[in-house]
């Protein structure tokens, strides 16, 4: 597929390389291509563009920008370029405040989530929450003794979730579909839980697994 990655931080870069390695065509969106001069030299098969260029290019779009900037980045990408497309939302609504004993602060609450806000404003796009509850080092081809880790996803569009589940399978994950967009209220805070061992013990290599009877 043609994948447009909005965001050039660690997540955007890791996912872009992962998509390329798994046979997709990828473009990365940034406001500041100059900052990525060296990275672009090492990754010549991944062109850079503006958020709008990249959203237009992608058959599937990945949102991997700072949570506080997610709305602005999508506005720059434009609703027209996103219409009808699956949008993997890897963002977390992390507030501009330090963690408390390793617990991150969010600018949302338990009755609201960032993905619902984005879905409301960009109603033509098909948001699927994914990749937000694991560190970027483990996003592509994760290797754990306990086997495939679980990626919790949610979103209103079943077809978009099917496409994202296929990508997760390709990347070495099992998928747990938690339902509609409201489930992002539960999936986004998994990031808080995931980060605690990192902040408290500098342990950043782990992932969640859902154990079931079947
Ligand atoms: N780091 C992780 O391991 C990890 C894991 C799971 C989820 N996440 C989530 O994934 C997202 C990306 O995280 P990250 O660590 O890769 O990097 P980040 O520093 O959170 O985000 C970097 C990206 O945000 C864009 N950005 C920043 N301010 C902006 C603004 N005002 N308007 C438009 N775009 C803006 C930057 O644009 P430019 O390219 O123009 O600089 C850059 O592409 C975050 O929401 C984070 O919570 C991170």
Six token digits for residue 84: 């009808």
Q: Which atom of ligand 1 is nearest to the CA of 135?
A: 3
Tell me the C-alpha distance between 5 and 30, whole Å: 9
Residues making up the chain, counted from first to last: 214
pTM score, whole prediction: 0.98
Q: Which atom of ligand 1 is nearest to the CA of 133?
A: 6
CB 85 within 8 A of CB 5: no
Q: Which atom of ligand 1 is nearest to the CA of 6?
A: 43
Spell out which residues line ligand 1, taking CB within 6 angstroms: 7-12, 30-32, 64-67, 69, 72-73, 90-92, 94, 132, 135-136
Mutate which of 13, 27, 51, 65 to test ligand 1's pocket (most atoms within 8 Å of Cβ)?
Answer: 65
Question: 94: which DSSP letter?
Answer: B
Q: What is the pLDDT of residue 32?
A: 94
The model's pLDDT over 136-180, given as tens digits with 9 standing for 90+, comes to 999 999 999 999 999 999 999 999 999 999 999 999 999 999 999
The model's pLDDT over 9-34, given as tens digits with 9 standing for 90+, comes to 999 999 999 999 999 999 999 999 99
Dihedral sign from CA coordinates of 69, 92, 172, 204: positive
């Amino acid at each position: 597929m043609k994948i447009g990655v909005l965001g050039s931080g660690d997540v955007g870069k890791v996912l872009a390389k992962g998509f390329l390695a798994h046979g997709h065509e990828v473009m990365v969106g940034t406001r500041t291509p100059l900052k990525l001069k060296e990275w672009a030299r090492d990754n010549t098969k991944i062109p850079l563009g503006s958020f709008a260029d990249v959203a237009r290019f992608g058959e599937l779009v990945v949102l991997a920008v700072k949570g506080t900037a997610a709305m602005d980045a999508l506005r720059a990408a434009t609703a027209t370029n996103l219409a009808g497309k699956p949008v993997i939302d890897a963002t977390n609504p992390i507030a501009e405040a330090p963690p408390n004993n390793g617990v991150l602060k969010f600018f949302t609450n338990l009755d609201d989530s960032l993905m619902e806000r984005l879905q409301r404003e960009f109603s033509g796009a098909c948001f699927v929450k994914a990749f937000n509850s694991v560190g970027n080092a483990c996003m592509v081809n994760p290797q754990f003794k306990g086997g495939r880790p679980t990626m919790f996803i949610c979103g209103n569009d079943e077809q978009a979730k099917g496409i994202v589940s296929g990508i997760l399978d390709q990347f070495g994950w099992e998928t747990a579909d938690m339902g509609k967009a409201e489930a992002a209220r539960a999936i986004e805070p998994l990031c808080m839980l995931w980060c605690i061992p990192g902040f408290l013990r500098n342990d950043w290599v782990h992932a969640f697994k859902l154990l079931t009877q079947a």
